[in-house]
Structure 1
Amino acid sequence: MFNTNLKESDDMYYIVETIKSFSQASADLESAVIRNGFGVLHIHDLGTTLRTKGIAFDEECKVFEVCNPAQAAKVLSIDMRLNMALPCRISVYTEKGKTKIGLIKPEQMLSALSQDAALVEVAKEVEIKTIKMVDEAK
C-alpha cells in the first residue's frame, strides 16, 4: 500500500500520491474540478500522444487545463501578459508504478511573473481551490 498522505515538498509544486489507478484518479480529478466551480478546458493525454508518435514511453500522463473564468478575468485585468500562464494545469501521472496528482502552485508561479499585490491575492485563492481539487481526487 502506498502512503496516501505523502506530499512532495518543493515550494513550487504540490504533488500527492494516491493508491487509485491512473484512470480512477483522472476521473476523480475531473469531478473535483467541476465540484469546485472550475471547468476543464482540455485534457492533454501526453502518454498516448508520445506513444502514437513512435516514442517508447511507459508512464501515463494526463494534463488537465482548468479555469475559473472570474479568476482568469481578474488576473488578466491586472496584467494581460499573464495570459501566457493561463489556464491552470493539474496533472495525473504515473511514476515508477505509483499514481500521482500535482500542480505548480499558482501563487509561486504568478508571484515570479508579477509583484502586484492584487495578483498575489487572486493566485492564493486559486491555489487554495486547486489544492483542494487535488486532495479530493486522491
Structure 2
Amino acid sequence: MNPFFQSDTDKSFEAACAALEAAIPAHGFGLLAVHDLGETLRSKGLDFPEQCRVFEVCNPQQAAKVLRADINLATALPCRISVSRQDGRTRIAMVRPAVMLSALSSDPELAEVARQVEATTIAIIEAAA
C-alpha cells in the first residue's frame, strides 16, 4: 500500500489551505498548528520558491486511546496534512496513519484506531480538494 494519500486540486494554494482549515473541525478534528515551511526556509536565506504548509490535526479521543496504549507513540502524533504548490499544481497530502502505526505497533486495537483516523483524515482532504 502506498504510504501516502494525496489529492491534487485545481484550487490555488491559499484556497486549498482555507478549505482544509474549514474541513478539519467539520470532521471532528482540531487544528493544533500550521507550519509554513516555505516561508521558514526562505526566512533562513534558502532558495525555496515552492509553497508548503503543514497542518497538525488531532482528534483528542483517538489520540488518548493511542497514548494510553503506548506513550512512546506520542512521537507519531499529531497527524500532519500538507498543502503544497509545485510545478503549477496544488496538492493536499498526508502519510497514511494506518501505514505509519503498523510500523510502530502490532496492537490490533491501535490498528483499528489508525484505520478510523485515516478514514476521517482522507475525508478531510477530499472535502478540502
**Shorter-chain TM band:** over 0.9
2:117 is the counterpart of 1:126 = yes
1:1-80 to 2 correspondence within 5 Å?
A: 11-80=2-71
Alpha-carbon offset, residue 96 of structure 1: 1.1
Q: Distance in 1 between matches of 2:59 and 2:7?
A: 22
**Per-residue CA shift, 1:56-75, capped at 9, x if unaligned?**
10100000000010000000
2:78 to 83, 87, 93: 87
| 1:70-123 deviation per Cα after TM superposition (whole angstroms, max 9, x unaligned) | 000000111111000000000000121100000000000001100000000000
Distance in 2, Cα, partners of 1:99 & 1:45: 15
Q: TM-score, normalised by structure 1?
A: 0.92
Residue identity opposite 2:89 in structure 1: K
- Find the aligned partners of 2:103 and 2:37 in 1 and give their Cα distance: 27
> Alignment identity in percent?
53
Gaps of 5+ in 2: none
The separation in 1 between residues aligned to 2:70 and 2:107, in whole angstroms, is: 9
Q: Distance in 2 between matches of 1:55 and 1:120?
A: 39
Greater relative contact order (Cα 8 A, min sep 6): structure 1 or 2?
Answer: 2
The answer on 1:106 being equivalent to 2:76 is no
2 CA distance for matches of 1:99 and 1:59?
10
Give the drift of 1:45.
Answer: 0.2
CA-based RMSD of the aligned residues comes to: 0.7
Q: Distance in 2 between matches of 1:43 and 1:105?
A: 19
Equivalent pairs counted in the alignment come to 129
The Cα of 1:134 is off from its aligned counterpart by: 0.2
Offset at 1:11?
Answer: 1.2
Q: Which runs of 4+ in 1 moved over 3 A?
A: none
AA of the residue aligned to 1:54: G
Normalised to the residue count of structure 2, the TM-score between the two structures is: 0.98
